[in-house]
Each structure stands twice: as C-alpha cells, then as structure tokens.
Amino acid sequence: QPVLTQSSSASASLGSSVKLTCTLSSGHSSYVIAWHQQQPAKAPRFLMEVEGSGSYNKGSGVPDRFSGSRSGADRYLTISNLQFEDEADYYCETWDSNTRVFGEGTKLTVL
Amino acid sequence: QVQLVQSGGEVKRPGASVKVSCKASGYTFTSNYLHWVRQAPGQGPEWMAIINPTTGNTKYAQKFQGRVTMTRDTSTSTVYMELSSLRSEDTAVYYCAISGDTSIAYWGQGTLLTVSS
C-alpha cells in the first residue's frame, strides 16, 4: 500500500508562484497521483492527474495557472499568478487495487 | 453535468447506525465506480469503500471492515453507505465520489455526521 507525504503548510504572495510536493513511498515511485483542491468549508475538487512520466491531465474548468510535474518519487502541483481564491488545502491521492490513499494535505496561504 | 447529491446531516448516539445516500446524475450511472470518503474535523480525506455499480461488487478499507456496507440502486442511480456501531470518532463529513480506473474525478457536497451522547 503506497503512502503519500505532503508538507503541512506553504505560503506565497499574491501574483507569485508556488510549487507543492507530494512524495510517494519507497517502491511506488512510478504511481500516478491526483491533486484535489479544498477551499474553506467546501467539498474537494479534482484538479489534475500527474503521471509517472510527468505529464498531467487537468479536470474540466481548471485554470491554465495550474500545472503538474514530477521528479523521481515526487509529484508537484505548481500554481502561477497566485490569486486569493487559491488559498485552500491541497491533497494528493493515489490508488492500488481499487483502494485509495490520500496525503495529509498542504494548507496554502496567499499573502 | 455530473452531479452527486447527498442526503442531509445526521446526529446519532454512540452505538447506533446511520445510512447516507448519494444520488448521481449527468452521466451513465454504471460507467464509473462510486466511493465513500470521510473527513474528520481538521483532518485529510480517508477512503472507506468502493462499489462497482454494474455488478454491485464492493471493497472496503480494512479499518471499516465489518462496520460499513455500501449498496446501490441502479433504478434510481443512488448509492448508500451504512455505518454501524457508531462512536464519537466517526464524527466527520462523509463524501461520495466517482472515479474511472484512475483518480476520483467528482465529489458530492458532503454529509455531516455527528455522533454524540
């Protein structure tokens, strides 16, 4: 069963860029992951999948400011031109034999 | 567009059971898996269960084995999650969600379950 590790918090200034990291546990570095955004008091929203190759596939309506990438076991979510509405919790998800695993989430603050 | 509409909030006593529903629309009900995921206050999401709506086959997280039952009604495109022997630690928002063979793609609005004596 894979384990996903995320930093608990991140912050960046309005209009700048931020890169969030989700790290796959040993032996699972090729896994595909997904990023979900959860704004305060709302349900999560699917943002994108990031494949082991580093390519990413975004959900419908996700702004171009959001992109994905990878390096080894790390999967990244980059948000450019940060807006106040990007202040949210960001969770990564992966799956194995139909079971699902989530990271603990990164709380992003826009300064 | 895809919609997952869940039943309203519940308040239950410890030891009781709860059944939460999720009605799907905007897509072919049998073409995607459905999941239940819960989120305790201040915590990340925790996956509980999955159902294949075509066959009715289910798989449950080991933590919830014996306490959770997921079912579906194809005539109404609705899935249900029943959780028994409730305790205070089950207080959480419960979400239904759909996926294909990969990631969760859509989430319901959530149902708050409060377990309190």
Q: What is the pLDDT of residues B70-108, one digit of tens each?
A: 999 999 999 999 999 999 999 999 999 999 889 999 999
Q: B33: which chain A residues are within 8 Å (Cβ-Cβ)? A: 98
- The predicted model gives B49-61 an average pLDDT of 96
Q: What distance in Å separates the CA atoms of residue B74 and residue A54, rounded to the nearest whole number?
A: 38
- The predicted model gives A24-40 an average pLDDT of 96
Does A56 score more than 90 pLDDT?
Answer: yes
pLDDT band at B37 (very low <50, low <70, confident <90, very high): very high
Q: What distance in Å separates the CA atoms of residue A103 and residue A107, rounded to the nearest whole number?
A: 12
Does A93 score more than 80 pLDDT?
Answer: yes
User: What is the separation of C-alpha A2 from the centre of its chain, rounded to a whole number of angstroms?
Assistant: 16
Q: What distance in Å separates the CA atoms of residue B93 and residue B111, rounded to the nearest whole number?
A: 5
pLDDT band at B55 (very low <50, low <70, confident <90, very high): very high
Does A54 score more than 90 pLDDT?
Answer: no
Chain B residue with CA closest to A47: the answer is B105
How high is the pLDDT of residue B101? Answer: 87
- The predicted model gives A7-25 an average pLDDT of 97
pLDDT band at A52 (very low <50, low <70, confident <90, very high): confident
Burial grade of A72 (CB within 10 A; 0-12, 13-18, 19 or more): exposed
Instruction: Please state which of the ranges A88-92, A96-100, B39-43, B68-72 shows the lowest mean pLDDT.
Output: A96-100
Does A98 score more than 90 pLDDT?
Answer: no
A85 touches chain B (CB under 8 A): no
The full length of chain B comes to 117
The pLDDT mean for chain A works out to: 96
Does A74 score more than 90 pLDDT?
Answer: yes
Q: Select from A6, A7, A98, A107 the residue whose CB has the most chain B CBs within 10 Å, as the one to mutate to test that interface.
A: A98
User: What are residue A76's DSSP bridge partners?
Assistant: A21, A69
- The predicted model gives B7-20 an average pLDDT of 98
Q: Tell me the HSE value of A8 on the side-chain side, using a 13 A CA sphere.
A: 2
B35 touches chain A (CB under 8 A): yes
